[in-house]
């Protein structure tokens, strides 16, 4: 008897039910023993008034089964605050989003024949997608980009382990570390350290904008690319366009305990119920799920049946051939089922192995230091007064404080003391850097509270950031023009 698996199946919204049904039929036809537990999430759930879009029964099903296959979910305008997709990723801590981008025989693109075979390993729970946003003033918005050393270690180790599981030989890390030295730089530094533990795999850092450029110019040079959440989102959509579009871009959300498999694409509402869309992306997500479940033979059967259908039989959906001669979703599904058991001559067998999930220390204080201090604060304020006027007021307000005003910046550019050159176009939001009057003297919380009380009559303040120093290294950036 084949091993029995239980999988939570979320059909989802728009084209979701069609693509997940096609996938379920093809997987079942391979003979693997899967009991599918059908679960709700997305638009219908939001409309019933549940703000998360994910009902308790669905959460319980995934907790029980540990594995889910999911169609795309919509966040209908006017219902719910957060995306149900992001909620699921966070709720099940699926910190790694693996997105393969490979050329398919039979799908003609400007890149055909170049052998594109890239996997983007995207960090899935941190970065700007934590969605921590605040209005600094009525006209200035802020989004917090949180990156942790622990999160970096997890995703980078996962990328290397994934590369090993597929016999891949090279990992690039794509960041914007040249600009965001603390956040993106943490990813780069962690990558460079951890890469040394994987001497069998070539490793390179690449600036993310150059990575996008190189992916268009010479995509075949890449193997695995590990990157932060937003970079990965953009690079993987770019990548899918190189190989025939979103209809061919699968994905897996992987965590220590739970895995959710889903396509990169969304619910494409205008094609819903028309039996015209391409189910390949969700099918290939299902193939990734089969490998995750250890069903390597069934995965290989589907890969070969798919390639035979595309390249030998030339059965293609509307997104590839347009209206004339296109196979419907159901005809395409039946053709793949009919080809199960046929091997495609150019199939590249990767000798897949299960991914060895990295074990990372669970400690909350993942990075410990022996010495720490606070050199001052950045005080974020709102005012429409001229800079020199409120700067003088703040200097006077700080006269009896342990801190002095060092400088004021507007969106990262120093405006006081004034820089030479063009005056930046100002908003009503400023960051005022106060530092300790005595070098090497720690600023205490009581000093900060005292300063805030003195400042309050002159400007509105929205928040402060402490200027932390850890083991003698400043934990904050300098503004453009700051010495």
Interface positions with ligand NAD (CB under 6 A): 15, 19, 72-75, 85, 246-247, 262, 265-268, 270, 277-278, 281, 319
Based on the residue annotation, tell me whether 428 is a catalytic residue of this protein: no
* Half-sphere exposure at residue 408, Cβ-oriented, CA atoms within 13 angstroms: 24
φ, ψ at 376 (rounded to 5°): 160, -155
Active site residue 209: yes
User: Looking at beta carbons only, is 11 or 72 nearer to ligand NAD?
Assistant: 72
| Distance from C-alpha of 435 to C-alpha of 416, rounded to nearest angstrom | 15
Give the list of residues 6+ apart from residue 52 with CB closer than 8 angstroms, or none. Answer: 45, 80, 82, 84, 87
Choice between 89 and 433, CB closer to ligand NAD: 89
- Shortest spacing between CB 480 and ligand NAD, in angstroms: 35
- The residue (of 15 and 391) whose beta carbon lies closer to ligand NAD is 15
Which residue, 282 or 464, is less far from ligand NAD as judged by CB?
Answer: 282
Tokens of 164: 């090993």
Going by their DSSP bridges, the two strands 4-10 and 403-410 should be labelled as: unpaired
Least distance to ligand NAD from the beta carbon of 253, Å? 9
In contact, 95 and 72? CB cutoff 8 Å: no
Three-class SS state of 246: helix
Active site residue 217: no
Judged by beta carbon, residue 87 or residue 137, the one nearer ligand NAD is 87
Q: How far is the CB of 436 from ligand NAD (least distance, A)?
A: 47
3-state helix, strand, coil in the chain (%, to 5): 35, 25, 40
Catalytic annotation, pick one of 95, 129, 332, 416: 129
Q: Are 468 and 377 in contact (CB under 8 A)?
A: no
Annotated catalytic residue, options 60, 209, 349, 471: 209
Phi and psi, residue 450, nearest 5°: -60, -45
E-state strands within 103-210: 117-123, 133-137, 140-143, 170-175, 202-207
CA separation for the pair 169, 222 (Å, rounded)? 10
Rank residues 277 and 451 by Cβ distance to ligand NAD and give the closer one: 277
The three-state secondary structure class of 106 is coil
Contact 278, 248 (CB under 8 A): yes
What minimum distance in Å lies between the beta carbon of 309 and ligand NAD? 15
Q: Is 319 annotated as catalytic?
A: no
Q: Active site residue: 13, 117, 127, 233, which one? A: 233
Smallest distance, ligand NAD to C-beta of residue 264, A: 7
Give the DSSP H or E segment for 332: helix 329-338
Smallest separation, CB 72 to ligand NAD (Å): 3
> Which lies closer to ligand NAD via its Cβ, residue 310 or residue 432?
310
Q: Which among 66, 70, 154, 176 is annotated as catalytic?
A: 176
Residue 9 or 435 having the CB closest to ligand NAD = 9
Q: How far is the CB of 433 from ligand NAD (least distance, A)?
A: 39
**Over the Cα atoms of the chain, what is R_g?**
26
Please report how close the Cβ of residue 230 comes to ligand NAD at its closest, in angstroms: 14
CA distances from 274 to 15, 84, 315, 329 (A): 9, 25, 18, 9
Query: Which candidate, 260, 269, 263, 250, places its Cα nearest to that of 15?
Result: 269
Q: Which residues are catalytic?
A: 129, 176, 209, 233
């Amino acid at each position: 008897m084949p091993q029995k698996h239980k999988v939570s199946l979320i059909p989802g919204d728009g084209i979701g039910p069609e693509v997940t049904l096609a996938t379920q039929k093809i997987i079942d036809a391979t003979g693997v023993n899967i009991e599918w537990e059908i679960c709700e999430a997305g638009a219908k759930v939001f409309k019933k008034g549940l703000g998360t879009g994910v009902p308790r029964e669905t959460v319980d099903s995934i907790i029980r089964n540990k594995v889910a296959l999911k169609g795309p979910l919509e966040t209908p305008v006017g219902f719910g605050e957060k995306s149900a997709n992001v909620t699921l990723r966070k709720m099940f801590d699926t910190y790694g989003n693996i997105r393969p981008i490979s050329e398919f025989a039979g799908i003609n693109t400007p890149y055909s024949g170049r052998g594109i075979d890239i996997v983007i390993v995207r960090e899935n729970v941190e970065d700007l997608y934590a969605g921590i946003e605040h209005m600094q003033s009525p006209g200035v918005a802020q989004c917090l980009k949180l990156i942790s050393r622990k999160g970096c270690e997890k995703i980078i180790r996962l990328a290397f382990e994934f590369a090993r599981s597929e016999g891949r030989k090279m990992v690039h890390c794509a960041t914007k570390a040249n600009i965001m030295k603390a956040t993106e730089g943490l990813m780069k530094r962690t990558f460079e350290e951890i890469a040394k533990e994987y001497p069998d795999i070539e490793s390179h850092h690449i600036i993310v904008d150059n990575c996008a450029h190189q992916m268009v110019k010479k995509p075949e040079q890449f193997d695995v690319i590990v990157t932060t959440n937003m970079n990965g989102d953009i690079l993987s959509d770019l990548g899918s366009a190189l190989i025939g579009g979103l209809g061919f871009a699968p994905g897996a959300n992987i965590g220590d305990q739970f895995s959710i498999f889903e396509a990169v694409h969304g619910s494409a509402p205008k094609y819903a119920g028309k039996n015209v869309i391409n189910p390949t992306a969700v099918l290939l997500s299902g193939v990734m799920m089969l490998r995750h479940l250890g069903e390597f033979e069934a995965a290989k059967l589907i890969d070969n049946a798919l390639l035979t259908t595309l390249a030998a039989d030339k059965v293609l959906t509307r997104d590839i051939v347009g209206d004339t001669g296109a196979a419907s979703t159901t005809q395409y599904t039946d053709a793949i089922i009919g080809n199960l058991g046929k091997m495609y001559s150019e199939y590249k067998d990767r000798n897949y192995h299960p991914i060895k999930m990295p074990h990372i220390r669970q400690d909350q204080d993942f990075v410990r230091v022996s010495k720490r201090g606070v050199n001052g604060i950045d005080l974020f304020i709102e005012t429409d007064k001229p800079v020199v006027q409120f700067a003088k007021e703040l200097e006077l307000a700080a006269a009896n404080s342990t801190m002095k005003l060092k400088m004021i910046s507007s969106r990262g550019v120093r405006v006081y003391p004034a820089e030479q050159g063009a005056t930046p176009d100002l908003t009503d939001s400023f960051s005022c850097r106060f530092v300790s009057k005595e070098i090497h003297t720690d600023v205490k919380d009581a000093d900060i509270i005292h300063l805030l009380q003195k400042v309050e009559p002159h400007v509105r303040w929205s928040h402060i950031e402490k200027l932390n120093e850890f083991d003698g290294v400043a934990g904050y950036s300098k503004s453009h023009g700051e010495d």
